[in-house]
Amino acid sequence: MDKMKTAALFDLDGVVLDTESQYSKFWGAQGRTYRPDIPHFDQVIKGQTLTQIFSRYFSDYPAAVLEKITAGLDDFEQHMEYNYIPGAREMLAWLQESDIPAALVTSSNDRKMQAVRRARPELEGYFSAWVTADKVTHSKPHPECFLLGAQLLGRGPGECVVFEDSFHGLAAGRAAGMTVVGLATTKSRAELEGRADLLIDDFARLSPAALWEEIGGLS
């Protein structure tokens, strides 16, 4: 690496919190109801914001349908289980203890994040900055969210490591000029191959210090 890595940027769902299987149930039901013409709809829309999903797959539906889905999703997110991806909390705690700042960079909106904060109040201490869908103009795969996260941490792109699980998120991290670590939590390693500088199953394979050292050794 040409620059030392001194900050970490984390996606939320599928990276810090193990929520994607729950979202699959919600969006699987929406797909069967409204888009039965698209097989595995819950997988097709992974990593996309609600605005992107509506624009790409529900543009011909009346506003009442979009409002119904939105209300259903809001209620669903308020009652989800927000459990950690294996090793994620330990990784965040190690970064905090090592004085390496971290930012949360998520496509979730502020209302969903209120539920996350209630369920996991300790996240406030782990992240020095929070970037949500409500704070950016362009969604992933556009790099705006990660560039904003780096700016809030006072770091340049070359100093940052992005942890992501979705195609859109990985593409956004690369477009931002950052080192990208892909987690095979929602996609297989084969699907993620070539999309990240390093692939890991989760954060439990190595100690946080060993993982950060491995990231530092990437060329």
State pLDDT tens for residues 175-206.
999 999 999 999 999 999 999 999 999 999 99
- Rounded to 10 deg, the angle between the 50-57 and 63-78 helix axes is 150
DSSP labels, 5-55: --EEEE-SBTTTB--HHHHHHHHHHHHHHH-TTSTTHHHHTTT--HHHHHH
Q: Is 112's pLDDT higher than 60?
A: yes
pLDDT in tens, 34-73: 999 999 999 899 878 898 899 999 999 999 999 999 999 9
118 and 163 assigned to the same domain: yes
Are residues 161 and 188 in contact, defined by beta-carbon separation less than 8 angstroms?
no
80, exposed or middle or buried, with CB in 10 Å at 0-12, 13-18, 19+? middle
In a domain, 178, yes or no: yes
Distance of CA 104 to the CA centre of its chain: 8
51 and 144 assigned to the same domain: no
43 and 130 assigned to the same domain: no
159 and 187 assigned to the same domain: yes
pTM of the model: 0.90
94 and 197 assigned to the same domain: yes
Q: Is 106's pLDDT higher than 60?
A: yes
- Rounded to 10 deg, the angle between the 167-175 and 144-153 helix axes is 60
pLDDT in tens, 18-28: 998 899 999 99
Domain range for residue 51? 20-78
Are residues 85 and 16 in contact, defined by beta-carbon separation less than 8 angstroms?
yes
